[in-house]
Amino acid sequence: MNILKSIYRVIAIIFKVLFKFTCFMSLMLCGAYLLAPLGTINSKQIDLSTFTNTPNDTMMVVFNSEYFSGYLFAVTLAVVIFVVYLLWQLHEVAVHKAQEQNSTHIQLVFALSLCGLFIHKAWWVLAIIIAFANWQHIGASLTNIIKNGLATKNNKAGADEVNTLINKDAKSH
């Protein structure tokens, strides 16, 4: 039964990828059709015999097509939008990490991320540090340091009192 579930899952993933690819290609072809008037090619009458490495006539028909220019323009726009989206995701990685950990610092991390976007990148670095720090471990370590310091101080005070009593007792004898 598990084998059938895993086979079904793989088939579902394949169909999902094919569906997404089909949607993307139809969007790009619609973009090519709509953006074709912007891709007017002014160099159709160039004498190609002056070049040493020219494509064949069939490829030149494709390259000189306004629809091909529109398609390239649509793909270029899609790539630019995708890169901007990825950069935004990178910028928001601190906020996503803070939300994932259910941190109490979410609002602080978000504010520092915005300051990093508009003011200076050092604020974004601080937001990353706050988001990825293990605050429970840091708090426990600081508590242990304070406890050890107080215990050492109390031990020294007790040892000083004992030394004072021993010195007084030695002087009286």
Contact of 60 with 48, CB cutoff 8 Å = yes
Mean pLDDT for 76-87 is 89
Percent of the chain with pLDDT over 90: 13
Q: Comparing 159 with 48, which gets the higher pLDDT?
A: 48
Say what the pLDDT of residue 126 is: 81
22-36 in b/e burial notation, b at 16+ Cβ within 10 A? eeeeeebeebbeebb
pLDDT of 158 > 70? The answer is no
Neighbours of 60 (CB within 10 A): 14
* Residue partners of 94: CB distance under 8 A and separation at least 6: 109, 112, 113, 124, 127, 128, 130, 131, 132
Predicted confidence band of residue 22 (pLDDT cuts 50, 70, 90): very high
Say what the pLDDT of residue 153 is: 66
Say what the pLDDT of residue 37 is: 75
Look at the block and give the residue holding tokens 């901007």.
84
Q: Comparing 55 with 76, which gets the higher pLDDT?
A: 76
Predicted confidence band of residue 129 (pLDDT cuts 50, 70, 90): confident
Q: Comparing 82 with 147, which gets the higher pLDDT?
A: 82
Could you give the C-alpha distances from 112 to 40, 81, 93, 100, 130, in angstroms and in order?
A: 46, 25, 12, 17, 10
Say what the pLDDT of residue 83 is: 92
Predicted confidence band of residue 12 (pLDDT cuts 50, 70, 90): very high
pLDDT of 46 > 70? The answer is no
Contact of 122 with 116, CB cutoff 8 Å = yes
